[in-house]
Amino acid sequence: MTIRGKARIAGAYEHPDRKIPDKSVPQVHAEVALGALADAGLSLSDVDAYFCAGDAPGFGPLSMADYLGLKRLRYMDSTETGGSSYLVHVGHAAAAIAEGKCRVALITLAGLPRSQRTSRASAAPSAPEAAFEQPFGPTTVSMYALAARRHMHEYGTTSAQLAAVKVAASQHAQHNPNAMLRNPVTAEEVLDSPVISDPLHRLDCCVISDGGGALVVVAPEIAKNLPGRTVKVLGHGEAPKLQGSRIDLTHTGAVWSGPRAFAEAGVTPADVDYASIYDSFTITVLQTVEDLGFCEKGKGGAFVADGALLAPHGALPFNTDGGGLCNNHPTNRGGMTKVIEAVRQLRGEANAPVQVPGCDIALVHGTGGSIGTRMGSATLILGQEDA
């Protein structure tokens, strides 16, 4: 079975705030849920499927469905793959809709790490890998730095090339009134920012923000009767990158998830007009564009340094809201906002200076976990209603 054309994204909503000290996590989940449903022209009473991940408090979908008052549920999914969970959820929702399991699926994300000053190590204390890794003190940023250093060793990638990713994101963020970091930066400013974990500088790292977002995925027959423009789900792929005996630090799980999504959608990288790419760190983007086939392996540094990521006319306009590097990385999970910005681009609703003209096909890629150890990757291909 294929999900190509079997479901539509009808609603998308990003919480406008980046620091929310006076609300609870369930409240933010509710606010984004209502926002996405209003965007779709639907209500809570229309929802018959609910999807959430590890950011949802309590018993996940059970607690949140009760809190939201979702009384007609016949399908639930709490798949947890970190920041890529919400792309996985879109694919799973489309499959459930295609199989007739549900017709209106709600997906939510929310968290308050900035207000609550929460953080986590690279592995939970109870995780099976913790006893082998935690004694050596790994952190999330150090594992990404390890991957960056290895990519530099293998392919001659430079810190200035990594900085080009941040420069592009900052150029886009200046047009987003809600972005945390709206000032454009130069490559020199990135390189002059403090080193957090060599070779990654502070400006190579994503922001930490409160907030959240939500999506509504519906059956085609529902979409026909809705007032707004919907976006077609064309393809989906997901894959873990597991450590095994010896990990290759120079690639991501996109090596597997990308081809699966492209094959299902019936398109190639050359067909993509816009890309939302997970940008926890600049190295994440550089490796991902290689692994998705937008350039040869090892050529990502030259590709991004040549202005390819700049909207609206670059070879691969990316993260036109500013992404996780500048706009928003709610509860340290950036996949949700990547889908939301892709929906905006396909609807022609992105901020005007960075709206990609004739945007018909968009790619969304998310990662979860760590590029240096275990990673859950997911890729979506989305298109205009007539795609």
pTM as predicted:
0.96
Give the DSSP H/E element, type plus range, for residue 28.
Answer: helix 25-40
In a domain, 157, yes or no: no
pLDDT digit string (tens) for 51-102?
999 999 999 999 999 999 999 999 999 999 999 999 999 999 999 999 999 9
Flag whether 184 is in a domain. no
Which pLDDT score is estimated for 244? Answer: 59
CATH number reported for the structural domain that contains residue 72 in this entry: 3.40.47.10
Average pLDDT, the chain: 95
Please give the average per-residue pLDDT across 206-212, as a whole number.
Answer: 96
pLDDT at residue 216 in the model: 99
Residue 119 confidence (pLDDT): 54
pLDDT tens string 215-265: 999 999 999 999 999 999 999 999 998 755 567 899 999 999 999 999 999
Per the structure, the complete domain to which residue 357 belongs is given by: 8-116+206-383
Q: Is residue 368 part of a domain?
A: yes
* Exposed / middle / buried, residue 207 (Cβ in 10 Å: 0-12, 13-18, 19+): buried
Output the six-digit token pair for 164: 């080009």
pLDDT value at 297 more than 70? yes
pLDDT at 387 over 70: no
Question: Which residues share a beta bridge with 365?
Answer: 277, 379
Q: What is the pLDDT of residue 319?
A: 98
For residue 214, being part of any structural domain is answered with yes
pLDDT of residue 123: 58
367 in a structural domain: yes
Q: What is the pLDDT of residue 3?
A: 96
Please state, in angstroms and as integers, the Cα–Cα distance from residue 158 to each residue in 151, 163, 199, 251, 306, following that order: 9, 9, 9, 17, 13
Supply 7's token pair.
């479901």
Domain assignment of residue 265, yes or no: yes
Q: What is the pLDDT of residue 184?
A: 98
362 in a domain, yes or no?
Answer: yes
User: Total domain count for the chain?
Assistant: 1
Residue of 275, 283, 276 whose CA lies nearest to 164: 283
pLDDT(118) > 90:
no
pLDDT at 126 over 90: no
**Alpha-carbon distance 122 to 110, whole Å?**
20
Residue 140 lies in a domain: no
